[in-house]
Structure formats: structure tokens, C-alpha cells
Structure 1
Amino acid sequence: MLNMKHMKKILIHTSSSTTQSSVIFSCHEEKEDIVVFSLV
């Protein structure tokens, strides 16, 4: 897993030729929540 305590929100946007996927990683003090949004 990714250990990010200092980072709160990381926005990663990747666009492909046919598919667009945006991934948002939100980390809390102790809890790590990973939300993945995929747009086709």
C-alpha cells in the first residue's frame, strides 16, 4: 500500500485514446480510503 500521512488528497488523471480514468486517493490520519472513478 501507499503510505501517505502528510498527503491528504492526490488527484491522478489519466486519459487514454478510448477510455478516461480518474483516480482519487484520500488518506486520513490513520485510515486510508481509496476511491477509484472510472469513466468510459
Structure 2
Amino acid sequence: MKWLRLYYEFATDPKIQSMDETLQRRYIMLLCLKGNGDLEK
């Protein structure tokens, strides 16, 4: 199983916190998809 490293600073990062919770979740999902290779051409 592949995994993704997420730093604790994510919870307090100003750029992340400026996004609403829906966009934060979508951002995490995009990181997961990219890490899994699902966004490759």
C-alpha cells in the first residue's frame, strides 16, 4: 500500500487555513490521487 506523508503544520498553515473545509478535503484527495498515479496521462 502506498502512503502519503502529511506534516502537522498542515493544520496551522495560513494558505491551507484560508481555504474552506471542502477545498481542504479536495486538496488532500488530489494529493492522494497524484500519489497513486491516477492523475498521470
TM-score (ref. length: structure 1): 0.23
Between 1 and 2, higher relative CO (CA 8 Å, sep ≥ 6) is seen in 2
TM-score (ref. length: structure 2): 0.22
Greater share of strand: 1
Greater share of helix: 2
